[in-house]
Chains A and B, each alone.
Chain A
Amino acid sequence: DQQVKQNSPSLSVQEGRISILNCDYTNSMFDYFLWYKKYPAEGPTFLISISSIKDKNEDGRFTVFLNKSAKHLSLHIVPSQPGDSAVYFCAARPYSGNTPLVFGKGTRLSVIA
């Protein structure tokens, strides 16, 4: 069963507007959530993380929101730029810290100039 779900395979946004990527999880025993970005022919690169004890973390144009009661998190990119076009993966880390990250299937973001 998939513990981390990204239900939107793709998203198109105009340059300068907000991109919102969503992620749902089923396991209450995750203590950190991470977002990774992946360009073609490259490995995923870390973007931003949030601890389960917080509800928001911001880094420049990127903000992650966590709603624990809904088991939902979202990544906001404002303003979106063409260089943000990539596949975005949501990942979660179990509380033990000794178990590897669990990834969602990814959402392909296309930012149109």
Chain B
Amino acid sequence: DTGVSQDPRHKITKRGQNVTFRCDPISEHNRLYWYRQTLGQGPEFLTYFQNEAQLEKSRLLSDRFSAERPKGSFSTLEIQRTEQGDSAMYLCASSAPKGSDRGGGGANVLTFGAGSRLTVL
């Protein structure tokens, strides 16, 4: 397995356009997370899925944002009518089913992708 893959790595768009990011998690991981990171901040939680069910959404996720994981494998994050404040690194992470986490000592380690950097002009 090659880890968590995100596409595209960089996206430059004009304000008002829609953008979509894709995340392919580690194949045996059933949980998938989206985080956002801006300059000088740590990753901020947006939403997460267990299999195909979206279990939690942050209040950061405005109604212009929508995430899907239709078959419990890859996920997409769409931002409609982008604003300059949406410029950030969008990070995807996945984690193993509870109890099967290896190497994290039970901490349910998240494995992150390299991120998709969005610049809204």
Contacts and interface: CB of A to CB of B under 8 A. Distances in A.
A63 interface: no
A105 B40 CA distance: 7
Interface size class of A (residues with CB under 8 A): 20 to 34
Contacts, number: 67
A89 B104 contact: no
Contact of B42 (A97, A99, A105): A105
B25 interface: no
Interface of B: 4, 33, 35, 40-45, 48, 55-56, 91, 93, 98, 103-115
Interface of A: 4, 6, 9, 32, 34, 36, 41-46, 49-51, 57, 89, 91, 93, 97-106
A42 B114 CA distance: 4
A97 B98 contact: yes
Given A51-B106, A89-B43, A43 B91 contact: yes
Contacts of A101: 45, 110
B42 A46 contact: no
17 contacts: A34-B107, A42-B114, A43-B113, A44-B112, A45-B112, A49-B104, A49-B109, A51-B106, A93-B107, A98-B56, A100-B33, A100-B110, A101-B45, A101-B110, A102-B45, A105-B40, A105-B41
A51 B114 contact: no
Given A44-B43, A50-B105, A57-B105, 14 more contacts: A4-B42, A32-B107, A46-B103, A46-B110, A51-B107, A89-B42, A91-B42, A93-B107, A98-B55, A99-B56, A100-B110, A102-B45, A105-B41, A106-B41
